[in-house]
Chains A and B, each alone.
Chain A
Amino acid sequence: MTRGVRGVLSAVRRTLWRDREDGWGFALVVTALFVVALIWGHWHHEFWRDETHPWLVARTASGLRDIVDGDRVYDGHPPLWYWYLYFWTAVTRDIVGLHIATIVAEGTAALLLLRHAPLPRLVKVLLTFSYMLGYEYGIMSRNYTAGVICAFAFAATYHPLRLRLSSFVWLALLALSSVYGLAMASAFLLVLLGHRLSLSRSSNFSRTVTVLTVPHVLAGAVLVVGSFAFAYLVTDPPDPNPYSPAWNFAGVGRTMILPALHRVVAAFIPLRQPGERLFWVATIPYSLEYPRLFEKLAYILPALALLCLFPGWLEAAAFVLGCFEMAFLQEARYLGHIRHWGHFFVFFVTMVWIVRVERPRTRNWLAPVFLLLLGLCQAEGFAVALWQDTKVPFSGAREAARAIEKAGLKDLPLVIGPDWAAPSLTGYLDRTFVSCETDEVNQSMVFHGRRKAFTPEALVSKAVAVARERHSPVLVISNRALPNPPGAPALKLIFANTIPSELGDENYQVYRLDL
């Protein structure tokens, strides 16, 4: 009996700790479960402005080139995610397309991880159902999802002996996903070319290598460098403004290291407390309760992460370089939130993956154990975030849009202010709105500095002007109470969100103005 139990336990251990897949069965089954979790999460998730904005830019773009030099130029993101969404908008203009596009992208990333990563199965399952991959890049719809899929695809195509052109292609795409993708791609390129260089430095470097591989490397390197240059040229907004500030090197220096390490801890251990509000921006909740432990973790976790990359000195150096680039960007440009810092985690997972591919016979037991512990913390964060997102509406936009559609008012001209509150609503309605701050007519807002300050009075007078110009009733929407227009009929409140949303500033009040 005891021997039988031991046998079963041993078999379970072997199955869970198996780190090489020779078929698709396990990966497909776990991916299917993950996709079910994603569908459930998306079913209950209301998109907010940060998520709908790229969809709206893609939906209103006249082509792929318009995405490069159109409204996107102010966003501070390269165009890959917008291009991806552009193709989905050809399938459907409805916001459901954004849900599907995100699920497809993150599901594919999970499939690549589960099938190709040389990590124990248990670790891979926990990483798949992690807060970062599952919630921040799986349920939240952002361009960082494209970065995850490109990073994982690069690792999946990476080969210690054969240099594949597809690896370069994935690096080029990674650089076009986000500035964090650019930082990761530069580190991966260092690893790729570093190993190639170590091969070519040998005295036995034969003529065949020169004949067969140099054009390959050259073409790949040109592709990646071209992509880096393109990403640099099209990402920096032409008009520094409060939404995308200019470079600020004041904080760059030795003092930025410790805060950056704190952000690494926040990304590696995103523990969440059940029932916690603002869980999606709660950076380091336990740092206040256990400050000493947190301070120590800021040194211990990065040190352990570097040890996990042993004996890959090149990978460790590239990891440090990539993390430094990310910390530099955060300090000099935009500090960001947990969704940005999550790239430390994705970067680390991918680097461990590459080290284990590069040295298949070297057994570093620390890496899977460390990833297992991180995976447990991440899975806790994912479970709490998923549960919280289903209980409280993330944004009031979906409810407001449904109320407008139900009342048959969808076709009335929309005047919405402040304009940053509009994209969530117009995403669901597929309508343009008039902005009182910029005089623009658009589905989304554009983050430039050519704007007047928002006031409720200015919004109401703009609504009156639009109603007079179009000889039609107007819907006036804001996230705050509006005054009645002077010398015109009073505004009629037809809807207001009753349940406070997770985002405090996306509770809408919809008024009708009849002149």
Chain B
Amino acid sequence: MLPVFLRRLNDSLPLWERFRSRYFDRHVRVLIFAVRHVRVPRQLLRLRELCRVGDALAVRRPSDWKARRARLYRHVLRRAGHPDVSAADSDELAVLAAESLRALAEPLMSASQSGLCLVLNALALISAVLLCLSLASSALKVRLFPVDLAATAKWSVSSTFPGTQASGVGTSSKGPYFFHTQFENEPWLVVDFGRPVHVGRIKIFNRVDCCQERELPLNVESPKGNGWNLVCQRRSPFHTWTCEPHDLTTDRIRLRLPGNTALHLERVEVWR
């Protein structure tokens, strides 16, 4: 059994070598090149600025502008690695300078592409590793693939508008709202998880078809003794609002409007 495994391992090594040379070494080499030539972008920017000044000279035409412009472009060409340029006209020099700058920028572009490829490859590798680990660890799985606690929670409301439900399981709907209270003083919605859970994020979706301003101010509360404790409050109009309680473990949350109005929401999500 063992020799077979070792033989297979031995056979696979050249494959790994090939993979390394193709996807890893090449990118790393290019990156090392980029780091070594970190001065290039700075030089490139400086030479571009000089070209721009040369162009402006042609437009504004101060005294001796032609000679000054030609001197500038020759300087740019010299710095870009073309010391011997035969062109005499400053316009020709301008074109040559632009082309030489473009050539100077090419390795940089190639290095950026390689860097991007390397980052994408690394991200893909990390994702694959995390995926594998999450299959083994349930804690990691919960972190990586969080579950909406409200999707299976029971809910109830203070009153019902005709044709709407007073309670149910799962705080979402395909319609504009999953519940609708009467117009009353301090309407509320209670979401009951059935057991104490750690709540890290409560995402509330307002109905989008109308009447969003009715849901203000909206309080998110948790039980405290015989009463309720204010966790978050929303005072400005919203389509979606995320309340992030600090260290909250509770078996219920309550959404309450302090004024005389009606409460109706499209969806409520509760995440660890």
Taking Cβ atoms with an 8 Å cutoff, the residues of A that contact B are 62, 69-74, 161-163, 199, 202, 204-209, 211-213, 238-239, 438-442, 446, 448, 450, 469-470
CB <8 Å contact, A199 and B237: no
User: In the complex, what residues of B have CB within 8 A of residue A470's CB?
Assistant: 227
Closest to B65 in A: A204
Closest to A198 in B: B59
Please list 7 pairs of residues, one from A and one from B, whose beta carbons are closer than 8 Å in the complex, sorted by A's number. A162-B52, A162-B53, A199-B55, A208-B54, A208-B97, A212-B51, A441-B233
Does residue B25 face the partner (Cβ distance < 8 Å to A)?
no
Given contacts A62-B244, A205-B59, A206-B55, contact A212 B98 (CB under 8 A): yes
Closest to A238 in B: B237
Given contacts A69-B238, A448-B235, A469-B227, contact A208 B55 (CB under 8 A): yes
CB <8 Å contact, B230 and A441: yes
CB <8 Å contact, A446 and B236: yes
CB <8 Å contact, A440 and B98: no
CB distance from A458 to the nearest CB of B (A): 14
CB <8 Å contact, A442 and B94: no
Does residue B217 face the partner (Cβ distance < 8 Å to A)?
yes
Does residue B95 face the partner (Cβ distance < 8 Å to A)?
yes
Give the docked Cα–Cα distance between A250 and B34 (Å): 63
Does residue B216 face the partner (Cβ distance < 8 Å to A)?
yes
User: In the complex, what residues of B have CB within 8 A of residue A161's CB?
Assistant: 52-53, 56, 60
Q: Please pick, from A163, A211, A441, A450, the residue contacting B216 in the complex, using a CB distance under 8 A.
A: A450
Given contacts A161-B52, A208-B54, A439-B258, contact A69 B91 (CB under 8 A): no
CB <8 Å contact, A69 and B98: no
Name the interface residues of B257-271: CB closer than 8 Å to any CB of A.
258-259
Does residue B154 face the partner (Cβ distance < 8 Å to A)?
no
The digit string for B102-129, where 1 denotes a CB below 8 A from any CB of A, is: 1000000000000000000000000000
Q: Please pick, from B59, B233, B258, the residue contacting A204 in the complex, using a CB distance under 8 A.
A: B59
What total of A-B pairs shows CB separation below 8 Å? 86
Give the docked Cα–Cα distance between A162 and B54 (Å): 10
User: In the complex, what residues of A have CB within 8 A of residue B53's CB?
Assistant: 161-162
Closest to A446 in B: B235
CB <8 Å contact, B49 and A162: yes
Main secondary structure, interface of B, reads helix
Given contacts A440-B235, A448-B235, A450-B216, contact A212 B52 (CB under 8 A): yes
CB <8 Å contact, B235 and A207: no
Does residue B48 face the partner (Cβ distance < 8 Å to A)?
yes
Does residue B58 face the partner (Cβ distance < 8 Å to A)?
yes
CB distance from A241 to the nearest CB of B (A): 12
Name the interface residues of B220-264: CB closer than 8 Å to any CB of A.
227, 230, 233, 235-238, 242, 244, 258-259
Taking Cβ atoms with an 8 Å cutoff, the residues of B that contact A are 48-49, 51-56, 58-60, 91, 94-95, 97-98, 101-102, 213, 216-217, 219, 227, 230, 233, 235-238, 242, 244, 258-259
User: In the complex, what residues of B have CB within 8 A of residue A162's CB?
Assistant: 49, 52-53, 56
CB distance from A230 to the nearest CB of B (A): 17
Give the docked Cα–Cα distance between A161 and B56 (Å): 6
Closest to A206 in B: B94
Q: Please pick, from B98, B233, B236, the residue contacting A208 in the complex, using a CB distance under 8 A.
A: B98
CB distance from B245 to the nearest CB of A (A): 11
User: In the complex, what residues of B have CB within 8 A of residue A209's CB?
Assistant: 52, 55
User: In the complex, what residues of A have CB within 8 A of residue B258's CB?
Assistant: 439-440
Interface centre among A62, A208, A209 (most CB of B within 10 A): A208
Closest to B232 in A: A62
Q: Please pick, from A208, A440, A469, the residue contacting B217 in the complex, using a CB distance under 8 A.
A: A440
CB <8 Å contact, A206 and B58: yes
User: In the complex, what residues of A have CB within 8 A of residue B235's CB?
Assistant: 70-71, 438, 440, 442, 446, 448
CB <8 Å contact, A71 and B236: yes
Give the docked Cα–Cα distance between A13 and B48 (Å): 41
User: In the complex, what residues of B have CB within 8 A of residue A69's CB?
Assistant: 236, 238
CB distance from A28 to the nearest CB of B (A): 27
User: In the complex, what residues of A have CB within 8 A of residue B227's CB?
Assistant: 469-470
CB <8 Å contact, B259 and A208: no
CB distance from B11 to the nearest CB of A (A): 52
Give the docked Cα–Cα distance between A340 and B126 (Å): 54
CB <8 Å contact, A199 and B59: yes
Contacts A213-B52, A470-B227 known; 16 new A-B pairs at CB < 8 A:
A72-B236, A73-B236, A162-B49, A163-B52, A199-B55, A202-B59, A206-B55, A206-B94, A207-B94, A207-B95, A209-B52, A212-B55, A212-B101, A239-B213, A448-B235, A448-B236
Interface centre among A211, A238, A450 (most CB of B within 10 A): A211
Give the docked Cα–Cα distance between A161 and B60 (Å): 10
CB <8 Å contact, A208 and B94: yes
CB distance from A204 to the nearest CB of B (A): 5
Give the docked Cα–Cα distance between A442 and B232 (Å): 10
Closest to B186 in A: A439
Give the docked Cα–Cα distance between A209 and B97 (Å): 11
User: In the complex, what residues of A have CB within 8 A of residue B259's CB?
Assistant: 439, 450
Give the docked Cα–Cα distance between A208 and B94 (Å): 6
